[in-house]
Amino acid sequence: MPQKTIFQVLINNFMTNFDAEVIVIGAGMGGLVTASQLVAKGIDVLVLEKYLIPGGSGGYFERNGYRFDVGASMIFGFGKEGTTNLLTRALAAVDRELETIPDPVQIHYHLPDIDLKVHRNYDQFIADLSDRFPQERRGIKQFYDECWRVFNCLNSIPLLSLEEWRYLLRVFGQNPLACLGLVQYLPQNVGDVARRYISNPQLLKFIDMECYCWSVVPADRTPMINAGMVLAIATTEALTIPRGGWGKSPSLWRRA
């Protein structure tokens, strides 16, 4: 008979002592949201976390009366409309609500030849970027409008895997137009689409940085479907920050 690992022994002990139906390993944002949604459906859940506090990339630490966020500096999902407000809906499922405040500028680029703010007001951002690259004014508008078309499709269907074609087929019956709008972008990356409208090397380099800041890969490795989130979401009025920092969010799910 094979010998049980330490992990298997610990799990068996927890299941015996806590009588949990489901054990979630890790109290990061994904683990906490998963556990909260299971609890909302009446399932007994045990969440295991090796660190002192929950939150993962949404965690925090405190020093001398001040709270400092750690990990992610940009988390979307607290909007009021559409389907991209995943965190708002997850909290509502367990009767929780988080006060948020508008984030007027997500990133302020201080570069040798570019000083630019990514305004949450889309028109202001496009105007400022076009003023810096006046010869590319039309291409800038066309490119970012295309990113917004992707976002609007995403914001009208349930969000699971953004690049999985089987998932898109499953939700096709609910919103066929949005799904058809996304299918065309499955094989495309942001770099290819940007070069379709823009030729200025410096501007293409800026879009490269934009992708890297949001998705941690350059434009040629960022799927165009992801651009609907990583580029368009930064210029939406729905982008907000929890009052008190990101560390406030995990504490709400912990109490749930």
Q: Is the pTM of this model over 0.75?
A: no
Angle between helical axes of 201-215 and 190-197 (0-180°, round to 10): 150
pLDDT recorded at residue 214? 78
The pLDDT value given to residue 74: 60
pLDDT band at 156 (very low <50, low <70, confident <90, very high): confident
CA distance 244 to 242: 6
| Domain boundaries defined on the chain | 6-73+244-255, 104-235
pLDDT band at residue 138 under the 50/70/90 scheme: very high
Tokens of residue 117, six digits? 């703010």
Report the mean per-residue pLDDT for the chain: 78
Specify the amino acid at residue 164. E
Query: For residue 163, what pLDDT band results from cuts at 50, 70 and 90?
Result: low
Could you name the CATH architecture of 6-73+244-255? Answer: 3-Layer(bba) Sandwich (3.50)
Q: What is the mean pLDDT of residues 88-114?
A: 80
Task: Return the half-sphere exposure (C-beta side, CA atoms, 13 A cut-off) of residue 185.
Answer: 28
pLDDT category, 9, cuts 50, 70, 90? very low
Banded pLDDT at 7 (limits 50, 70, 90) = very low
Confidence of residue 127 (pLDDT cuts 50, 70, 90): very high
The three-class DSSP label of residue 67 is strand
pLDDT above 90 covers a percentage of the chain that reads 20
